[in-house]
Amino acid sequence: MTAPSSVTLSLGQCATLACLLEAAAPKAGNVHRSADFEDLTLFDLLASAVAIASAIDAAPQAGVGRTVLDAITATRAVVSTNTNLGIVLLLAPLAAVPRSRPLSSASVRDVLATLTAEDCRLVYTAIRLAMPGGLGKVEEMDIAGEPPADLLFAMRAAADRDLVARQYTDDFRLVLEEALPLLIAGRSSGWSLTDSIIHAHLALLARYEDSLIARKCGSPTAKQVSARAGSVLATGGPGDEAYYESLADFDFWLRADGHRRNPGTTADLVAAALFAGLRDGQIQPPYR
């Protein structure tokens, strides 16, 4: 069967499809079509993916802060837990880039340069509405306090402990220059999109401590997770029996502590990379 010709999706469709593809792929330690958590199911993620579409469609006109708040408000209307705050924080600046411009660190930097105090206020409101777990309390830029006038200042204060915040300070280089190329390289190697997503998730996890795991379990555990991900990659890749066996063992180990070792931030980065690839036509059907 021949692949369909190039497909142009709306921003909202790109966002929903990116979230659906990321959620359905059986990534190690995450919720997917064959594994739920006690308090979070695949259907929560699917409903959330649909809910954010309108907000993402409006991003070029609405701006980052309004997009984040509208997307989280829509999400909380259909689910009772935080399913996508990290994803929405990543998607909003990407979606706000004018569609006439390709996504790049430069085009995202131009969007970030326009952020206002109102953007920061709206983002802080959205974070409180989402009620993410494991944030704890910090001395500077605590989310329970008054929002600062500069969202980038707040993100810089969190960048050393949160990979999502770091994207705002690094012009989304990890998403656009590491995660997306990993996905494209997988497809170019003849892997399915599902295998490419799983492998990219592993590769990022091996390179960077997952912020959600670090918040829940501490940095030593996050480092251990990264080392184990690297060990899986050392066995080969999609198509290699040893790789699949090692991946299954890694997945079992991640789930052996409830879902405290859920590499959720890394999954958010993969979702953002999928959005970028779909938006600019670098990821095309078949989506499987």
Confidence band, pLDDT 50/70/90 cuts, at residue 145: low
Which pLDDT value is given to residue 146?
79
**3-state DSSP: the chain helix, strand, coil percent, rounded to 5?**
60, 0, 35
Instruction: Tell me the pLDDT band of 3, cut-offs 50, 70 and 90.
Output: very low
Q: Are 46 and 31 in contact (CB under 8 A)?
A: no
Higher pLDDT, 184 or 42: 184
Neighbours of 125 (CB within 10 A): 16
Residue 32, strand partner residues = 35
| Mean pLDDT on 53-60 | 98
- Number of C-alpha atoms within 13 angstroms, CB side, residue 11? 23
Which pTM does this prediction carry? 0.93
What pLDDT sits at residue 4?
Answer: 45
Total residues belonging to the chain: 288
Amino acid at site 236 = G
Look at residue 40 and give its three-state secondary structure: strand
Q: What is the DSSP string of 132-185?
A: -TT----SSS-TTS---S-HHHHHHHHTTT-HHHHHHHTTTHIIIIIIHHHHHH
Which domains, ranges and CATH numbers included, belong to the chain?
Answer: 11-279 (1.10.4200.10)
Residue 131 has what pLDDT?
81
- Answer with the residue of higher pLDDT: 106 or 135: 106
Q: How confident is the model at residue 126 (pLDDT cuts 50, 70, 90)?
A: very high
Q: Model confidence at 5, in pLDDT bands (50, 70, 90)?
A: very low
pLDDT for 32: 84
Is 69 a residue whose pLDDT tops 90? yes
Confidence of residue 269 (pLDDT cuts 50, 70, 90): very high
Q: What is the pLDDT of residues 11-28, one digit of tens each?
A: 999 999 999 999 999 999
What value does the mean pLDDT of the chain take?
Answer: 92
Range with the poorest average pLDDT among 95-104, 198-207, 250-259: 250-259
